[in-house]
Structures are given as structure tokens and as C-alpha cells.
Amino acid sequence: MSVAVVTFPEALHIIGRLFGTDQPEQRVRDSALLLSALDRQSASMFGQEAYPGIHHKAAALLHGLTKNHALFDGNKRLALVTTLYLYAKNGYWNTTDIEAEYEFMLAVASNEIESIDEIAAWLSARFRLAE
């Protein structure tokens, strides 16, 4: 199954909604870093996807948005909401609560959880394809 990834215009829309602005580009510190994080979802080499499947794509997206610091402020919030959007866009339901998500994001940001595989495992245990 093909995964629909989050695009740059969608990310800007999310930033606008998240921070209550109609000029989301003003929240972006470095658009190249934002694009870099978004591009990780589709990364490939020699015809092989670097992050196959939705959970690894979501993990790469979340990690990139958390670590790249593309925004002046709110990078963890953007990472979480954009990841939730990626799953929703592909028909997945979130089965976890906000407190668990908060603790998870702090763990990723502080490098307690740092590998894409660890992030993907956490996500795959909490997101289910809607039937």
C-alpha cells in the first residue's frame, strides 16, 4: 500500500492552524530544514525506500521535525501534530492518550529515544488502520 506523505503546503497549513496565524511562513526559522524533515518520508537509494511503510515514514518525519528545529519555537508540537496528520491522511486511528504522547515527545527530544526503529515501534503499537 502506498503511503501519502505530508507536503510542504500541508505543513505550512498545519503551522498556521497550530499557531493561529494566516502567515505561517513567519514561524519558520529555516524553510530548508523544514523541507529536509519532510523529504525524509520519501527518501530512497538505489530504488529502495529508506523508510518503508507508514510507521517508519512517520518515525522519520517525527524525528526530523523534532531535531531539525525548522521553527523559531514549537518544533515538538509541529512534529507531533504533523505525524498525527500523516496517520489520519492514510486512514489510521490514534489509540493513545495525550499524556503518553507528551512523554514520548520529551523522550525523543531529549534523545532517550533516538533511533527511527525505536520511534517506529512506539508508533506502530499505537496507530491502527481504520476498518
> What digits encode the pLDDT tens for the residues 72-127?
999 999 999 999 999 999 999 999 999 999 999 999 999 999 999 999 999 999 99
Residue partners of 112: CB distance under 8 A and separation at least 6: 106
Average pLDDT over residues 40-50: 95
Percent of the chain with pLDDT over 90: 98
DSSP string, 17-65: HHHT-S-GGGGBS-HHHHHHHHHGGG-EETTEESS-HHHHHHHHHHHHH
Band the pLDDT of 55: cuts 50, 70, 90: very high
Q: Can you give the pTM of this predicted structure?
A: 0.96
Q: Which helix (H) or strand (E) holds 111?
A: none
Band the pLDDT of 131: cuts 50, 70, 90: confident
d(CA 66, CA 131) in angstroms, rounded, equals 30
Cell numbers at 97, concatenated: 492518550
The overall average pLDDT reported for the chain is: 97
| pLDDT, position 8 | 98
Instruction: Tell me if residue 5 falls in helix, strand or coil.
Output: coil
Spell out the domain ranges in the chain: 8-129
Q: Is the dihedral of CA 81, 76, 35, 54 positive or negative?
A: negative
**CB-side exposure of 59: number of CA atoms within 13 Å?**
22
**What CATH number belongs to 8-129?**
1.20.120.1870
Average pLDDT over residues 54-78: 98
